Structure 1
Amino acid sequence: CGAMRKLTCALLCLLMILSIAFCLTACKSRTDEMADQEIYTEKQMNKMKNKVIKCINEQDKEGLKKLFSKDAQKHIEDLDGKLDQLIGAFNGNKIESAKGEGSGFEGSVSTQPIHIYEDYNITLNNGDEYTLFVSFCDKNDNEPEKVSLIQIELRTFSSEKTPKDFSGGTYKDDYGIFIYTLQNYPKE
């Protein structure tokens, strides 16, 4: 009977060790997966940001238009006019730097679609500071026409100069190009 008890105790200990080890590896792999996802989205965000900035700096309206998803191109009213306004808001000045304010993503490789978005404080070559928001769909295997740029929001003022009653603009998944000045911005 004593031997049985020892064997049972040894088996229970072994089961506990195995279950703890399993939990630790499961937690670790979940953390690794999240870290991998963040690294992946950061890379994708930087690629998109660089393409958007390059097109703005080169005043490449057609290049900027092609960055928008096919679905967004169909649904944005007067896309050409809005692209002209966006490029025109820089008055021929170039973006010299873009510092990320805060990025985020929704979805994952296993739960598509993946939407990625970030706010940037941008500095122009004339010293002006603007705020640029970029939102895009990175992966959507079921609806590939929805993949690519969804929204660009430009605030022709820095985040420090954002009025207290500024409502935060549009929702990150809304299709469009939105340009706000200190005279014309959505209030709370």
Structure 2
Amino acid sequence: MKKLISVGICLLIILSTTFCLTACKSRTDEMVDLEIYTTKQMTKTKKQVIKCINKQDKEGLKKLFSKDAQKHIEDLDGKLDQLIGAFNGNKIESAKGLSPAFEGSADAQPLHIYGEYRLTINSEEKYRIYISLCDKNDEESDKEGVFQIELRTFSREESPRDFSGGAYQDDYGVFIYTLQNYPKK
């Protein structure tokens, strides 16, 4: 009888361990899949933004913004003109950044994705661009799309000591910071 109870307990321990390991693995796989998905979505959006800036295509850039952001950003056309004008006709040669950050999940919407990229212009890293987009929102589809672009026209090394960062990450808008107009502490 003792052997039977011991075998039963061992079998339960093995089954529970197996169940726990497979459950953890599937959660890990889900997170990896979500990271791959968000990276692809942000890479696609980044390429579209850069293409529009390089072609000076204000209307194309405007279409990337969500319908809700287009309604709530005051003077969006003027701000997009300023964004494109900040490059003085120079082309963005490359944009390098880390994997984007995200809030939400495929199950818990909305899914917001945030990307930061160092831009190379004329073979020199000079500017940084931050792009925020809402990728999924089944309940409010008019909020899907880019809702914020922030451009800093100075490198990290040139950042003033009293630079307190730019806009809040969930603000709607197009924000352009130069060494003359950066937000101070």
Q: Which residue of 2 aligns with 1:90?
A: 87
Residue by residue over 1:18-53, the C-alpha shift from the partner in whole angstroms, topping out at 9 and shown as x without a partner, is: 000011011111111111111110000100000000
Match of 2:111 in 1: 114
Residue 146 (structure 1) aligned with residue 138 (structure 2): no
How far the C-alpha of 1:8 sits from its partner, in A, is: 1.0
1:68 maps to 65
Q: Could you list the per-position Cα deviations for residues 84-114 of structure 1 after superposition, in whole angstroms to 9, with x for gaps in the alignment?
A: 1000101000100101146200001011100
Q: 1:18 to 1:57 in 2, by over 3 A?
A: same
Matched, 1:163 2:160: yes
Q: Does the aligned pair in 2 maintain the 1:95–1:122 contact within 8 Å?
A: yes
SS of equivalent residue, structure 1 residue 51 = helix
Q: How many Å separate the matches in 2 of 1:160 and 1:107?
A: 32
Which deviations, in whole Å up to 9, do the C-alpha atoms of 1:108-147 show, x marking residues without a partner?
Answer: 1011100001111001136361010000000001100000
Q: Which structure would you say has the larger Rg?
A: 1
Q: TM-score, normalised by structure 2?
A: 0.97
Residue deviations 1:45-99 (CA, integer Å, cap 9, x gap): 1000000000000000000000000000000000011011000101000100101
Unaligned runs of 5+ in 2: none
Moved over 4 A (4+): none
Cα distance in 2 for residues equivalent to 1:7 and 1:126: 74
Residue identity in the other structure for 2:4: L
2: CA distance, partners of 1:87 / 1:106: 28
Distance 1:126 1:13, change over 3 A: closer
- Please provide the CA RMSD for this pair: 1.1
* Number of residue pairs aligned between Structure 1 and Structure 2: 185
* Structure 1 alignment gaps of length 5 or more: none
Partner of 1:83, secondary structure, is: helix
Q: Which SS does the other structure have where 1:73 is aligned?
A: helix
Matched, 1:33 2:62: no
1:174 counterpart letter in structure 2: D
Q: Which amino acid aligns with 1:167?
A: S
8 A contact 2:164–2:183 mirrored in 1:
yes
Could you say which residue in structure 1 is the equivalent of 2:13?
16
Residues 93, 126 of structure 1: 8 Å contact kept? no
Partner of 1:184: 181
For residue 125 of structure 1, what is the amino acid of its counterpart? N
CA distance in 2, matches of 1:55, 1:25: 45
SS at match of 2:97: strand
Give the TM-score of the pair, scaled to structure 1.
0.95
Using the aligned pairs only, state the percent identity: 71
